[in-house]
Amino acid sequence: MIVVFWVSFIVALVGSALLITQKHAVYALLGLLIAFGASAGVFLSLDAPFIAVSQILIYAGALAVMFLFVLMFTDTRTDEDTGLPGAVGSRAVFDPATGRPAKKKKKKKADEEAKPSPFSGLVMPKPMAVAVSLALLVCFTAAIVTLPSGFNRFGPLPSAYDGINFEGVERSADQIKSDPNLLPFGSTEAVSRTIFEGFPLAFEVVSLLIFAAVLGAVLLARRHLVGIPGTQDVAKESGHA
């Protein structure tokens, strides 16, 4: 399992690097898929098969496909990428000498400053981004270093728990294997019992947050539809106006 862990770890790093370095959105999405699949391999090597399968089904299957549909319905190409004229039937966009579409003139700086990007406020300066990344690396490293000694063992499940203190009692691998109350780590039953018996309130709060996010997306979409011809009639017919 240690070989699977290191191979998956390296592949996940490569996929993450492709995600943040590729300018083309489709190539970045492929890097995201590689990172998701490799993360599932990491979970599988850590004896967490349920989380590994969930990683494939939810993240690599559902979220990545959703991103792909968004890219399919969003045209991110410019006129230079397509090679088509900016306005069909207009002579001004053609160069008489070459017979090809003329290159558009660059916008003035004043025009660019007058129309700032809606995401300009979300861009973090590079020094701050490096500082935040280093701080996260230090936090993750500290969390790994402070883990109990039994968590850094690779091998079959019973031997991974051997010597760990359970409720103040030292138990060997044979005692753990024969105890029916101890569920296999990472199994579906263990994860479900931990969530629904130990953290039922937190689970319900997360579901409410997801529901609120869906409602917010619907409200934002309806706000952008205001003033578009035909949308008011559709809203009246559906009874939501």
pLDDT for the residue numbered 180: 52
Of 87 and 49, more confident: 49
pLDDT for the residue numbered 195: 81
Q: What is the CATH number of domain 1-75?
A: 1.20.120.1200
Q: Is residue 14 scored above 90 in pLDDT?
A: yes
DSSP-assigned letter for residue 170: E
Q: Is residue 77 scored above 70 in pLDDT?
A: no
Of 146 and 19, more confident: 19
Q: Is residue 227 scored above 60 in pLDDT?
A: no
pLDDT for the residue numbered 71: 73
pLDDT for the residue numbered 89: 45
- CB of 118 within 8 A of CB of 124? no
Residue 157, classed as helix, strand or coil, is helix
The CATH 1.20.120.1200 domain(s) of the chain lie at 1-75
pTM above 0.75, yes or no: no
Encode pLDDT of 17-51 as tens digits.
Answer: 998 888 888 888 889 899 999 999 998 888 788 88
- CB of 16 within 8 A of CB of 31? yes
Residue 39's closest CA among 15, 70, 69, 72?
Answer: 15
pLDDT for the residue numbered 91: 46
Q: Is residue 10 scored above 90 in pLDDT?
A: yes
- Report the percentage of the chain scoring pLDDT > 90: 12
End-to-end CA distance of the chain: 58
Encode pLDDT of 151-208 as tens digits.
Answer: 655 544 444 454 555 454 555 555 555 555 566 666 777 778 778 888 888 888 888 8
Q: What is the pLDDT averaged over residues 134-143?
A: 90
Q: What is the pLDDT averaged over residues 108-137?
A: 69
- CB of 5 within 8 A of CB of 44? no
Of 28 and 70, more confident: 28
Q: Is residue 211 scored above 90 in pLDDT?
A: no
Instruction: Return the half-sphere exposure (C-beta side, CA atoms, 13 A cut-off) of residue 59.
Output: 18
Average pLDDT value over all residues in the chain? 70
Q: Is residue 109 scored above 80 in pLDDT?
A: no
Residue 169 is inside which H or E element, if any? strand 169-170
Q: What is the pLDDT averaged over residues 97-106?
A: 57
Instruction: Give the Cα separation of 188 and 48 in Å (integer).
Output: 9
pLDDT for the residue numbered 85: 46
pLDDT for the residue numbered 127: 87
